[in-house]
Amino acid sequence: MKIHKRYIAYLILLMFFLYGINNFIFERRFFFNEILSFLGLLLFLKKVVLVAKHGKVSIPRSPIYKVVLFIILLGVFQLFISLFTKTSWYFYLRNSVIIYSIFTFFLCYYLYPYLSSFVQGVRAGLQIYVAYALYKPSIALLERFMGTAFFPFLFKRNTIFTLFAVFILDILLAIRYESLTVIILTFLLFVLLLIQRYVYFKAIVLSGAIIFAVCFVAFIPAFQQYKASRYSLFGDIKKVAKQHFLLQLDGNSTWRAVFWYRLIVEKFPNNLIGIGFGTPLLPYKKGMDTVESNYDDEHDIHVTGAHNTYLTVATRLGLAFWLFLLLIYRQIFREFYFYRKYYLSQTTDYWLMISFFSVSIVGLFNLVLESPTGASLYWGLLGFVAHAIEKRKLAFA
């Protein structure tokens, strides 16, 4: 008996949802990130080969699709160069998750037509699961950051009341799983949705970037105090915090700021072309262990990220990655604000935008693109959004 391709698509989409909701089990034990990435590669090759048989390779018109291809090419170039600069094969392969996970984009781009009916079929089960995970909080049940990406799919309609319910669920997740990141995510998402026009959004983002840059530069003398420690992988963060009362408000934020300073300033100009894969983000002493983790400093500084996923990947791939990222988000935000009424009439597509924004905000403060526990969720949601945008263009053609 021949299995209908719709059911195969549903099975893959189920894998994607399980991976995103509970990577503690489905990635760390069953490697769903790698499976989804491999399936994405196969589907991409299938589409290319089928078209090539007719004498011409054709790529979808989607600008986001094309930018993703350029990111992959950039990554492949860095993978080749890194063969000569890597510290070891182990760290080289661990870092390569940044590139191979991108193929999940193609998987979800081509499976988009099945998404709406799939969500309708699993909504009841998803509601029960999320309710239990919030009632009995456990990292083995719900990913404490990425769970926010699936809250929108719990609802059939995208009214003001369901949007309010999503915010309540975000706050509940933040409290139950003790996550400051989710609190920040909820606030930024609220601001994002409160803005009504793209021109206002650009003005706010530009103003925020300028304020952040000014504050960052002003605190550079304080950040440099990390060197006070005789040796610690990340330096003397306590000494840094003592330099200003704002740096004493949250130790994790101060630690991130010092890390960002070291990657942005001290890695210059190498970070313009990218440091590649299998290379350390910061200098380390072999055999030393000064970080609270299950590994030594050498492992941590090769595998971990700067807790800003875009900065981590840009440090490895170079300035070109920032440009590609800017092109992607410019397309998505213009689409979201210019055609907001249309997306409000397309429940699944509107929730896709909200979900992608949620994961994007998480990436500002945590590991996503450089980690197998989150990379495919980001690229998969981007694939769905890219196809949704192309569907809108056809509707307005």
Residue-wise pLDDT tens digits, 115-162: 999 999 999 999 999 999 999 999 889 988 899 999 999 999 888 899
pLDDT band at 277 (very low <50, low <70, confident <90, very high): very high
pLDDT band at 53 (very low <50, low <70, confident <90, very high): low
Residue 313 C-alpha from the chain's centroid: 11
Contact call for residues 256 and 308 (beta carbons, < 8 A): yes
Q: How far apart are CA 291 and CA 302, in angstroms?
A: 13
Q: How far apart are CA 397 and CA 225, in angstroms?
A: 58
Which whole number is the average pLDDT over 9-24?
96
Show the tokens assigned to 369: 């693109």
pLDDT at 139: 87
Show the tokens assigned to 116: 């709406």
SS3 305: coil
Which whole number is the average pLDDT over 59-79?
97
3 has a pLDDT exceeding 90 = no
pTM of the model: 0.97
Which whole number is the average pLDDT over 4-25?
94
Contact call for residues 82 and 279 (beta carbons, < 8 A): yes
Residue-wise pLDDT tens digits, 352-363: 999 999 999 999
pLDDT at 51: 66
Which whole number is the average pLDDT over 206-220?
97
Q: How far apart are CA 38 and CA 107, in angstroms?
A: 9
**Domain ranges, ordered by start, for the chain:** 5-195+310-395, 204-271+283-304
247 has a pLDDT exceeding 90 = yes
1 has a pLDDT exceeding 50 = no
The mean predicted confidence, pLDDT, of the chain is: 94
49 has a pLDDT exceeding 90 = no
